[in-house]
Amino acid sequence: MMPIEDIAEKFKHLLTVIQMEKFLDMEALGGEIPFFISTYNPEQELDIVKAIKGLKNKLETKGIQVLELNLYDICMNILDEQLGKGEIFELEIQIDKTEFKNALQSVLDIKEVVMPTIKSIIDANNARVYFITGVGNVYPFIRSHNILNNLQNVAKEAPTVMFFPGIYNGQSLELFGKLKDDNYYRAFNLDNYKI
């Protein structure tokens, strides 16, 4: 069971770290990819969404441009473009869950579709930091480790923070604190990160 966190304290720490020039300039990483994960209890999702919005506003007030990449919104936009607006909901009613998941994964191919879309969004912005949100909303058809593994070729110009509803121990990701994803060890845990 995941603990309920003090969100105000958590986001005070995140603001302190993210606004530092050393963080934004990706110094002190020892050549590692500038990927960071901030975990949270999925039960606190609605409060986290509000806190992320507040963090973005505070950073932007300080002149630090933030690009939020909400995976759910990105995927829904792709599906609407590929299939027609709202058609995915009709498809979901018509076929069984396994076929539906396979259909989603086919349309939302990580390397061929999702990453080029994310790259075009990043290229159109001058953000100093990228936030990845909506991770839990795209499970099981998109897995967080696949996003991180493929994002390293796309998100190189600024540090990337993934807000992850689960546990990250520096070796593996456990979505919702229950579903073990493949090992991923190239990101720093931002919740206890010190510069």
* Among the listed residues 62, 179, 80, 56, the one whose alpha carbon sits nearest the alpha carbon of residue 129: 56
What's the rounded Cα separation, in Å, for the pair 177 and 155? 26
CB 48 within 8 A of CB 7: yes
What's the rounded Cα separation, in Å, for the pair 195 and 185? 19
pLDDT at 179: 60
pLDDT at 78: 93
What's the rounded Cα separation, in Å, for the pair 82 and 64? 34
pLDDT at 124: 95
Instruction: Please list the alpha-helical segments (H only) found in 19-125.
Output: 21-24, 45-61, 71-83, 87-94, 97-107, 115-123
Instruction: Give SS3 for 172.
Output: strand
Q: What predicted TM-score, i.e. pTM, was given to this entire model?
A: 0.91
Residue 141 CB neighbours (<10 A): 15
φ and ψ of 111, to 5 deg: -75, -40
What's the rounded Cα separation, in Å, for the pair 145 and 7? 25
Ordered per-residue pLDDT tens for the chain, 195 residues: 778 899 999 999 999 999 999 999 888 666 677 899 999 999 999 999 999 999 999 999 999 999 999 999 999 999 899 888 878 888 778 888 888 888 888 888 999 999 999 999 999 999 999 999 999 999 877 887 788 888 888 888 899 999 999 988 777 778 887 766 665 567 788 888 776
CB 168 within 8 A of CB 106: no
pLDDT at 181: 61
